[in-house]
Amino acid sequence: MDVDTAVDTDLLKQTLEAVTNLVCLCREGSITYINTAGVSLLGALSKDQVLGRALADFVPSEYGDLMRADMGAFAEDANGTPLKIHSLDGSVRDAVLSVTPLEGEPGTFIVEVRDISDFLRAAHETQQQELKLRRIFESVADGIVAIDGRGIIHTFNPAAEAIFGYRATEVIGQSIDLFIPEQDKGFHGSAIKDYRKRGHSDVVDNTRDFQARRKDGTIFTAEIRVTEIEEGRHRNFIATIRDVTEKRAQEEKIRRLAHHDILTGLPNRALLKDRLNRAVARAHRQEIYLALMYVDLDKFKPINDLFGHDAGDDVLRGVAGRLVSSVRGTDTVARVGGDEFVVLIESLNAPEEAGKIADKILTLLLAPFRIKGADVHIGASIGISLFPVHGEAPETLMKRADEAMYKVKGAGRNSFVYAEGASLP
């Protein structure tokens, strides 16, 4: 049976026409049959444009010359030959050529050409995307650490190297415990055990601060977010890590400035109000006394006039230190005005204890302050209100202590007096 007869069977035709790759028969290098997919690949409008032409006309010259000389040479490569197809419409396609000798027909070959242009384009796009992600991975400011379910490190980007002080080669294959301070390893270990037991962890998909350890042993505050990545039956984790030591310090500084006096570092009026509210609530529950002292400095203005405001600031800082030294660490000393301070004493056993503390304050403030080589003297007028003797509301206690302080001012200063309106028990 000749070749044309073989191709002319209906079943074979239907089969070849259904194939999406180019399939043709070449006799002595010329195309004697080609399927519809082949016509399309070669950029022809019909089979008549292709039949009788040499297949070598559609490939680069280095391959075309070999085809004309020995088509059978291409049959030796079982994996096919990658080459370019130059179509009649001017397009160039990447393809793989496979050649099989037709049994019983010397000089005749079955040729299959597989168009791989889309595959190569997709592979190139994937490669470019991977390259882009790699560049992002290497240039992002956040540390990126990939670990498996056992906590073993698999990936460590340059930012992580800068944060922790380790090279990637030093940590890959090591446990994430390498970055955990000794005192926190128990928590970390329990988190991993919890994950293995329950299949999930509260640490995952939550941003939180934690204490981390650098290679040199220093401890710093890091912000971490862990994302779980499922890869088949395995679960891995990507941790993004940021050194927030300076950021948290700045935030704390801002919080402190909002609640503390800049000059003396003492609590300001806002923080005093909050602490007084809490102290009054505790005193209610525990049925105990507390004292509020309004302290106004005597003879302070002449210091500013004679020595300048810098000297006055030095005195105010000195006064703050002496007031703090006169009370317990659980008590509060606040600056509420230019030369006005408030002292909050909690958990008094008896009302008269407030008077003893006021005497102590007056004695401490009578000691001279050394300013520009000279000793300067000040005093203080102190008004005292007691909970619950002079009121049970915070604002009432502040008002009564302020009124008592002005009474001292009018009576000669450098003394203290309890608020009026109630007798001490």
Q: 362, 413 in Cβ contact below 8 A? A: no
Domain CATH code at residue 230: 3.30.450.20
Report the predicted TM-score, pTM, of the whole model to 2 decimal places.
Answer: 0.53
Active-site annotation holder among 243, 261, 339, 402: 339
135 lies in some domain = no
Coil, strand or helix: which one is 6? helix
Whether residues 289 and 390 share a domain: the answer is: yes
Tokens 């390893």 belong to residue = 185
Cis? peptide before 302, omega within 30° of 0: no
Look at the chain and count its residues: 425
Half-sphere exposure of residue 102, counting CA atoms within 13 Å on the CB side?
A: 20
Q: What is the DSSP string of 168-216?
A: HHHHTTSBGGGGS-GGGHHHHHHHHHHHHHHS--TTBT-EEEEEEE-TT
Q: Which backbone phi and psi does 220 adopt, to 5 degrees?
A: -140, 165
In this structure, is residue 132 part of a structural domain? no
Tally of domains in the chain:
3
pLDDT mean values, one per 10 residues, the chain (425 residues):
56 80 92 93 94 94 89 86 93 93 90 92 81 69 84 88 92 90 73 64 74 91 83 77 86 85 94 96 94 95 90 95 95 95 94 94 95 91 95 95 93 89 56
**Domain boundary residue, one of 86, 117, 148:** 117
User: What's the pLDDT at 1?
Assistant: 45
What pLDDT is stored for residue 317 in this prediction?
Answer: 96
On whether both 220 and 293 belong to a single domain, the answer is no
Sort 225 into a burial class: Cβ within 10 Å, 0-12 / 13-18 / 19+.
Answer: middle
Asked if residue 398 belongs to a domain, the reply is yes
Facing residues of 175 across strands? 152
Type of residue at 248:
R
With CA atoms as reference, report the closest residue to 384 among 359, 367, 366. 359
Task: Answer with the one of 212, 247, 282 that is the final residue of a domain.
Answer: 247
Same domain membership, residue 91 and residue 148: no
At 246, list the tokens: 């300076």
The number of angstroms, rounded, from the C-alpha of 168 to the middle of its chain's C-alpha atoms is 20
Same domain, 112 and 177: no
The answer to whether residues 287 and 196 belong to one domain is: no
In this structure, what token pair is assigned to residue 51?
């039949």
339 part of the active site: yes
From the number of C-beta atoms within 10 Å of its C-beta (0-12, 13-18, 19+), residue 394 rates as buried
| Domain assignment of residue 128, yes or no | no
Whether 267 and 261 have beta carbons less than 8 Å apart is answered as yes
Residue 134, domain member (yes or no): no
Q: For residue 175, give both structure tokens.
A: 């446990």
d(CA 219, CA 127): 39
Residue pair 264/178 in contact (Cβ under 8 Å)? The answer is: no
| Segments forming the whole domain that contains residue 240 | 140-247
End of a domain among 247, 276, 292?
A: 247
What is the edge-to-edge ordering of all strands in the sheet holding 22-27? Answer: 30-34, 22-27, 108-115, 92-101, 81-86
Q: Are residues 304 and 366 in the same domain?
A: yes
Please report, for the domain that includes residue 297, its CATH number.
3.30.70.270
Would 252 be classed as within a structural domain? no
> Pairing between strand 340-348 and 81-86?
unpaired
State yes or no: cis peptide before 425, omega within 30 of 0. Answer: no
Do 81 and 227 fall into the same domain? no
Same domain, 284 and 397: yes
Q: Are 35 and 153 in a shared domain?
A: no
* Separation between Cα atoms, residue 59 and residue 36, nearest integer Å: 19
Same domain membership, residue 88 and residue 11: yes
Q: Are residues 184 and 286 in the same domain?
A: no
- Residue carrying the six token digits 């790759």: 21
Compute the radius of gyration of the chain from its Cα atoms.
44
Q: Flag whether 289 is in a domain.
A: yes
Both 266 and 402 in one domain: the answer is yes
123 found inside a domain: no
Strands 153-156 and 207-213: unpaired
